[in-house]
Each structure stands twice: as structure tokens, then as C-alpha cells.
Structure 1
């Protein structure tokens, strides 16, 4: 297989003085951070500039974002299956190069669309031409950044660990939380210093073309392909660990996983969080302005949230190696409920503080659930297809967030209505989560 070739070029991971899985955690963490330009919190800092450049209103841009994101979601299951075939190294190299070109395209999307319409005499339908071009840009951005790069980076890390999977994910989550928290401020600094166009171009050079070199040289897919075992164990230790509950007894296919209740409870939980957080961050400044808080407060909200997320992710990562995942899922869903209720009554004071606490809990556990659950519940053999489907659902629902929140505000007069709708679904899922046990436990009895 392609992913098993050239693992010793330009160096042999088996000869590393430290178990190479820990380096994989480093590169995978950086991969997730490099996906930020494709995440909604990365796009949100460019939203108002795109609205002005394209002469759109907020609902029109939200609709383009929705359509582009939904379109990308339909390809992620296929991307997951491709990951199973060629591995993180080769897919990571290709997708980061593509991400670089996408960011450059978006930096010029208004000029491209206006020039295209002028050249073909389509000035009378300029809006539709611009809508198509920016939707195409959002489609490519969400597919490469939020979708494929995030998925393969997480999967790569989790394949290198079993007993220490939660601990490794906890370490990664700390730096991912910090990276995501400061990214809106960094992007805003780049925009204010160099313009929104050059900000995207600079990100293309770093997160796209630059990181593709890192992926090509350092990414590796399975420890076994490099002559190593999960957690850096010896073959004897692996045989001993076969009796440990965390080692998957059965390698589920995607269709088999879809027939289990825990799969759908997890998918719905993660998807609803994606819907909420994209709707929240895409309309971030407007949400806070409607609550009589300014842009500085809005952009800074991720910093205290990140501080809580760091602690929760470390604790959650460690606990995931020792307790049932459904308990962490219940805490995650409780955090969602706190966030949504706080958003419904957002104002300076307690609602603002509780929203930070709720977002911190959810942000800290999101990576644990979206990363650790799939290999532990369903095995590693079809991890790309299973996580690809989950990511597809996550991206699909994330597409609904910006328009749902925008519509709630412009048509119903408040963002609270969007929060109420989310709260109803999360509440039902919270009840279902009590039955979301690891299907491997039945096989181990």
C-alpha cells in the first residue's frame, strides 16, 4: 500500500531516541492548528471585509458559506476512505498545498468575480456571479481546512496510541485550544497591519505551502508500518494488553458502526456543537453588539474560554483512559446546555461568565470525544471511513449554524431563538447519552 512505502525516508522513526508517537502528536497538533483558516473562527475575522468587497449583506454571505460547507460535507466520507488507503503523510501533503491555493483564491475572490462578469458582459447579474465564486471558495476552504486536514491530523495521532490515547489527546488539546483561542486576535492583527487580502496570502504561505513540507517529511500513519507498536510497547506488552478493555476486540466497518446507538449519540453531540460554535463565531461581533458589548470583548472571549479548555482537556484526556467515555459525553452535553442558556440571556455579568464556562467545558472535551471515541469504540482498520462520516455530519451541521443564527437575528430580532432550537435537540441527546456505552465492552465479556 502507498501509505506503507517510504516510511524510512528521509529518516527511520524506529531509530528515534524517543517514541516517535510523541513527535506525531506534535505534528498532528500543528496540523489541526494549521486548519484554523478553514475553521469558522478563522473565517469570522474576514466576514465583514468580504461583505464589503462583494457588496453582500450578512444573510447572503451566510447563505454562500452554508452552501459551500454543505457541498464539502458530501465529500468527506470519501476523503476518509482515501485516508484509509494512502495515509496521513500523502493526503496531508496534498491537502495543505490545496489549502494554500484556496487561501490565495479567496484573497482575490471579489476581483476575480467582478473581472469575470465584466469580461463576459454579465454586469447585470454580478451578484450571482460573485455568489458562485465565493461559494466555490468556501467549499474548497471548508473541505481542505476544517474537513480533511483536521480529520487526518487527529486520526494520525490516535493511531499511535492505545493505553495513552486519552493522555496524548489531552496534551494535544491544550495547544490546540491555545492556538484556536489566539487565532482570531492574530488574524485581526494581520488584517489591520497588512489588509485582509495580504492576511490570507500570508496564511497561505504558512499554513498551506509551508506546512505541506512538514507533512511530507514528518507525518507517519501507523506505528506498525514503521516497525513500532502503539504506545511504544514491545510485542510482549502488546500481547498482554490484548486483555485490556481499551483495546478494540472488533474492527467495525462504517455500516456496522452506524447500526449502534452510541455512534449516533456521539455524532449528534459533535454535530450540534459544530452548528452552535460556527453560528456563534461567524456572527461573533454582531452577537456581542446586540448584547451591548463591543468588538474587543467579542474577540477576547476565546482567551478565558481557552484557559478553562486547557484544564478540561488535560483532565478529560487523562480521565478518558480510566473511565467510560459516556460520562465525559454527559459532562460535554451539560456544557452545551450551559452555553446555550447563557447565550439566550447574554449580557455583561453572570450570563457572560457562564457562557465562557460552558464553552470552556465543551471546548476542552470536544477533541477528546471527536478523537478518542472512534478508534476505542470501533477499531483502527476503518477509522478513516468512520471518522470521515462523522466529520461529514459535523461539517454539514456547521454549515447550518451561520445562517440559522443570522436568520434568528435578522428575522426574529434575537439570537436567542437559534439558541432555543439548539437547546431542544441537545436536551434530548443528553437523555440518550445515558445509553451510549462502548460496544466493545459487550464483546470483551
Structure 2
């Protein structure tokens, strides 16, 4: 008799990767590339200054950053399923609210909830979900998850430009709130499972085989740091100092990109093209990054990201033609592709899974803090000097700091940590 070979069922962790990627995609309304499309409409319609909007944006983002540590603690306590479902509902409500913004106070609260539940929660939670399901294939899984982020960054700017022109900015907010509530929330509620152990499996698809797998489980447990142990390591603070730098630089440039390009004789459509191009280029780069991270020390990869940041900031200073804008977008996309994987990979790789929610909550708070600070000096510089040249040059100090900190950060072990 011919025995038919049956294909083993797809490991459920890959479904978690799909849901995580969808979550990152729908975090869009809380991301700068989404909100930036509305900034000039606010300034024009309500006669606000760019400094006022920048201050409001930074203050709201900063406030949300202080809340993300508690979101991380709740993830460890309640699990990703409950938190992801709740975050999506609250983000949808935030979108509905932002369609009614009429003054700076309303704008502050609107951006606060967008940043807390969009940029913060809808990215923090999937970044803790995927590492729970993968150890050996973690880089690969995070690469696939990142597809959602790149599709989001590529799709939302041009779609929003078109929607705002067709149905105005208020209805655009309402439309995306409805999409999140109807499309993503039911998927999060029905599909998410917090850990493979909850369904009798181990990370990467290994089945629970009790005695035969006990040794590998013990090895993994020894690699897991508690939050207190993590906070005692030098590597945590060095890596943490690196986390906020890409957020600071990228948010500042993205937030003011239309205005920066306008100063250099380029239209808003070119700015939207660059934002989409950055995402399109970054998309295949994530797969390369996943492979490289498996073979190259993660802190060296982080140093390379900061070198690339210096390069694209220099190119931005001379971007006066569409061709140079494309070159800027390509380099920016390469940097962003590595960044998306490396910054999500480093925490579970260095400190394990036990306190990942709390650790990621702290890291995300710092990242959002960088996002909060970034736009402010750019807005003040423009209102003071009438251009962005000087502030871009001064901002190059931050990637230089990142290079030094990342090279000094070595992977800790619980044994050496306890000895120290």
C-alpha cells in the first residue's frame, strides 16, 4: 500500500504572526506618517501656528509615553488577547473622537489617545506576542510581522491625502475608526492565544513531550530575566538609550517632511511618495535583516542602523530635486527596515520572555518619549530661523551617541548578572 504523506498542520504561532502584523498595520492612526497628513489642514483651518501644533503633539505624545509602562505590566498580567482586543476598541474610539477636534485642548487629548493606543499599545502588544511563540525562528517571525508596518506606512499617506481631498479630514478619521472596529477587533478576540504552552506546545512548534524536552525547557528558563534582574544589567540601560534615538529622528523628519520639502521646492505629493517609498524599500530589507541578525551580533546591527541614519540625514540636507528625494527615501527605507527588526529582537534575545511585557513597556515608553521630543525643536527652529537646516545638523549628534552606546552593550547572562 502506498502511504500518503500528510502535511503537518501549520504551527499556530504563524497565525499569531499574521494577527500581529495586522495589529501593526492598524496602529497606523497613531503613527506620525498617518497624523502628519492632517497637520497642515489643522494649521490652515484653525489658524494655528506650526509651533503650537508641534508643542501639542509633543506634549500629548510625552504624556502617553508615561502610560506605556503600565500597559506593559497589564500585558504580563492579563495577556495579549485581552489587551489587544481592548486596545483596538479604544483606538477606534480615538479615531471617532479626532473627527470632532475643534481646538487645541481637544487636539491634545485626541493625539494622546491616538499615540497611547495606536503607536503605543497596538505595536507593543504584538511585539510581545510573537517572541512568546518563537525562539529559533524569532528573527524570521518578526520579519514577517514587520510586513504589516511597511504596508501601513506605504498605504496610509497617499490614501489619506486622497480621502481628505474627497471626503474631508473629519470623515477620514471616522472611516478608519470604523475599519478598525469592524475588521481587526473581532480577529484579535477570536484568534489570539497568549503563549504556545497554553495549547500544549512549545515555541517554534515543538510539542510538549514532558521528559524528552525537559532539558531544553530548563535551558530556556535560565535565559529568562525578571524585571528586577533586567534593571540591574548595564546592557539594559545602554540599549534603552539607543531605543529613543530612531524614534526621535524619524518622527521629527516625518512630522515636518511636507514643510521641509516645501522649503526645498518639492511638493506635498513628493513627500507622500517618499514616505511610501521608504516603506516599499524597507519591506524586503526586513527579510535580509532577519537573516543578518541570526549571524551578526545585534548590537553591531544597531550601530549600523545609526550610521545609516547619519547618511540619510546628510542626504536630506541636499534634497532639492525629486531624484534626490527618491535617493533619500531609499536610504531611509534601508535604515527603517533594519530598525524595525532589530529594536523588536533585542529585548527577548537579551532578557527572555518572562517579563517581556514590562521590559517592552519601558522600551516603548522611551521610544514614544523620543517621538514626543522630536517634532518640537524642528517646529521651533522653523518658526525662529525660517528653515530646518541648522536643526538637522544638530540632530546628527543623537545617532553618534547611539553608535557608541550600542557597541558597548553586550548580551548579559543571569550567572554574570548575579555575580555582579
TM-score by length of 2: 0.91
Structure 2 residue aligned with 1:232:
205
What are the Cα deviations for residues 391-429 of structure 1, in whole angstroms up to 9, with x where unaligned? 001111101112121112221332122222321121122
2:130 matched to which residue of 1? 157
> In the TM superposition, what whole-angstrom CA distance separates every residue of 1:130-173 from its partner, at most 9, and x where no partner exists?
22221111111110101111100121112110000001111222
Aligned residue in 1 for 2:252: 279
Query: Residues 443, 235 of structure 1: CA spacing in aligned structure 2 closer, same or farther, 3 A cutoff?
Result: farther
2:336 is the alignment partner of 1:363: yes
Q: Where does residue 394 of structure 1 map in the other structure?
A: 367
Contact 1:51–1:58 under 8 Å retained in 2:
yes
User: Where do residues 288-299 of structure 1 align in structure 2 (5 Å cutoff)?
Assistant: 288-299=261-272
1:71 offset after TM fit, Å? 0.6
Does residue 1:103 correspond to 2:103, yes or no? no
- Say whether the 8 Å CA contact 1:72–1:140 is kept in structure 2: yes
**1:203 matched residue in structure 2:** 176
1:27 aligns with 2:19: yes
**How far does residue 308 in structure 1 lie from its aligned partner after superposition?**
2.5
Gaps of 5+ in 2: 1-7
Structure 1, unaligned stretches of length 5 or more?
1-15, 111-129
CA contact (8 A) 2:132 2:203 kept: yes
What is the aligned residue count? 408
Measured after TM superposition, the shift of residue 60 of structure 1 is 0.8
Give me the whole-angstrom Cα distance separating, in 2, the residues matched to 1:289 and 1:238: 61
C-alpha distance 169-248 of structure 1, shift in aligned 2 (>3 A): farther
Q: Match of 1:72?
A: 64
Work out the CA distance in 2 between the residues paired with 1:156 and 1:81: 14
Distance 1:255 1:354 in 2: 44
Is residue 51 of structure 2 the alignment partner of residue 59 of structure 1? yes
- TM-fit CA distance, 1:441: 9.1
Query: Residues 13 and 133 of structure 2 are in contact (CA less than 8 Å); yes or no, is this contact kept in structure 1?
Result: yes
Match of 1:92 in 2: 84
Q: Does 1:173 align with 2:146?
A: yes
Q: Deviations over 1:85-136 (max 9, x none)?
A: 01111111111111111111110111xxxxxxxxxxxxxxxxxxx2222111
CA contact (8 A) 1:96 1:209 kept: no
Considering only aligned residues, what root-mean-square deviation do their CA atoms show, in Å? 2.2
Question: Quick one: distance in 1 between partners of 2:260 and 2:312?
Answer: 14
Decide whether the 8 Å contact of 1:338 with 1:354 is kept in 2: no
> In the aligned structure 1, how far is the partner of 2:298 from the partner of 2:401?
18
Residue aligned with 1:46, SS: helix
CA distance in 2, matches of 1:219, 1:398: 29
Q: Which deviations, in whole Å up to 9, do the C-alpha atoms of 1:201-252 show, x marking residues without a partner?
A: 01001124542111111112111112111000134685565698xx573322
1:428 aligns with 2:420: no
- Separation in 2, partners of 1:227, 1:243: 17
SS at match of 1:410: helix
Aligned mates of 1:265, 1:383 — CA distance in 2: 17
Tell me whether 1:212 sits opposite 2:185 in the alignment: yes
Q: Deviations over 1:1-48 (max 9, x none)?
A: xxxxxxxxxxxxxxx921000010000000001000000111011112
Alignment of 1:199-348 (within 5 A): 199-235=172-208, 239=214, 241=216, 247=220, 249-348=222-321
After the TM superposition, which residues 37-48 of structure 1 pair with which residues of structure 2 at under 5 Å, given as runs? 37-48=29-40
Cα distance in 2 for residues equivalent to 1:90 and 1:269: 30
| Cα 1:397/1:354, change in 2 over 3 Å | same
User: Structure 1 residues 263, 357: CA separation in 2 closer, same or farther (over 3 Å shift)?
Assistant: farther
